Structure 1
């Protein structure tokens, strides 16, 4: 067969594009919700951080998770909590924000290495070779205890129109002249609009137009 595999590759590519577009649209909508309900979002995120920290403590003392890795995760969430002091405004050069980005990568690596290891025979571990964590349990742990809070912060934090791709002002939303036209925007919205703007510029250079791409998701 020659045609059917080609159809399969085309379908896979289109499916990936539609999935990416759907995720971007959903994140864009969530970012707008946070902009409209900042106080509620801050309360929910703060409680979420404390809940995840409590789950980490339970996993450490009840299920025998490594104490060092659990403490690393707890300290990481304390750092994430520091980003709430000026919520939802964030400066990309803020040491807390930079540290949060680094800690996300470190936590992912150390926990992935832990679950990839076959050495679960530590006396502190309550599970043995006959009761290893399933893929669903591991994926749920990563989703809820490693990625959920950083991802929620990334969606919720706001940046000024001039923050991405350049940082020309001290604080987001400054210099709008009081007319409200240059209000702060969610990082997701700025990122998506910036990427679409770049795509529009490349399309223009290639002679494909690109006026629609420059509009971003403003109609949402």
Structure 2
């Protein structure tokens, strides 16, 4: 077969593009919702962080999860909670924010190593290939733990937070060129106050538009 494998590769590329567009659209929509309901979003994220900390503690007590890794996970969520001080704004050079980014990667690595080692040890103790150890978590359980206890809060913060360089200016903080007594244009202020996820999507869209203009797919004067 020669054509069918090519069709498979083409379908995979198209499917990946559609999935990427769906994720970008979802991020954009969630960022819009958070911008309009920041107080509700802050309450929801705070309760979510505390709930996950309780869940990790229960997993350690009931399901015998490692104490050291559980302590690291709970400490990480305490650090994530510190980013709620100036919600929804965050300074990208803030040590607390940078520590949160590092802790996301560290938690992903240590829990991945833990589950991989646990699974490898369980397979080594099997008497037959068709046996299934009772204490080995399934792929669904592992993926659910990563999604809820490792990725959910950092991903939610990424969607919700806005860079401090984009903080909305207050009335009278900047002189108005039109002499309106310090009133700031609402449209410009809204653009400066957009979330990080929304800004990322806009930057990617702008880069794609600039690239298409360079190769002649879209003329600069045709832009909206």
**1:208–1:117 Cα change, 3 Å:** same
**CA pair 11-145 structure 1, distance change in 2 beyond 3 A:** same
Bigger shift: residues 175-184 or 58-67: 175-184
Q: Who is 1:218 aligned against?
A: none
Runs of 4+ off more than 4 Å: 210-215
Structure 1 SS opposite 2:93: coil
Q: CA RMSD in A?
A: 2.3
1:12-91 equivalences under 5 Å are 12-91=12-91
Between the aligned partners of 1:68 and 1:213, the Cα distance in structure 2 is 58
Out of 134, 138, 144, the residue aligned to residue 142 of structure 2 is 138
- The residue that corresponds to 2:127 in the other structure is none
Matched, 1:187 2:182: no
Query: Match of 1:123?
Result: none
Q: How many residues align?
A: 199
Q: What is the match of residue 101 of structure 2? A: 101
Separation of aligned partners in 1, 2:222 and 2:139: 39
Is there any run of 5+ residues in structure 2 with no aligned partner, and where?
123-131, 177-183
* Residues 70-106 of structure 1 deviation map (CA, whole Å, 9 limit, x = unaligned): 0000000000000000000111111111111110000
CA 1:60 to 1:24, structure 2 compared with 1: closer, same or farther past 3 Å?
A: same
TM-score norm. by structure 1 comes to: 0.84
Secondary structure in structure 2 of the residue aligned to 1:131? coil
Structure 2 CA distance for aligned equivalents of residues 211 and 158 of structure 1:
30
* 8 Å CA contact retained: 1:201, 1:210: no
Q: Which residue of 1 aligns with 2:208?
A: 199
Residue 160 of structure 2: aligned partner? 156
Aligned to 1:125: none
Could you tell me how far 1:214 is from its partner in structure 2? 7.2
**Structure 1 residues 210 and 72: CA distance shift in structure 2, 3 A:** farther
Alignment partners' CA distance in 2, 1:3 and 1:103: 46
Structure ID, larger Rg: 2
- TM-score, reference length from structure 2: 0.82
Task: Please say if 1:173 is aligned against 2:168.
Answer: yes
Cα separation, 1, equivalents of 2:60 and 2:221:
51
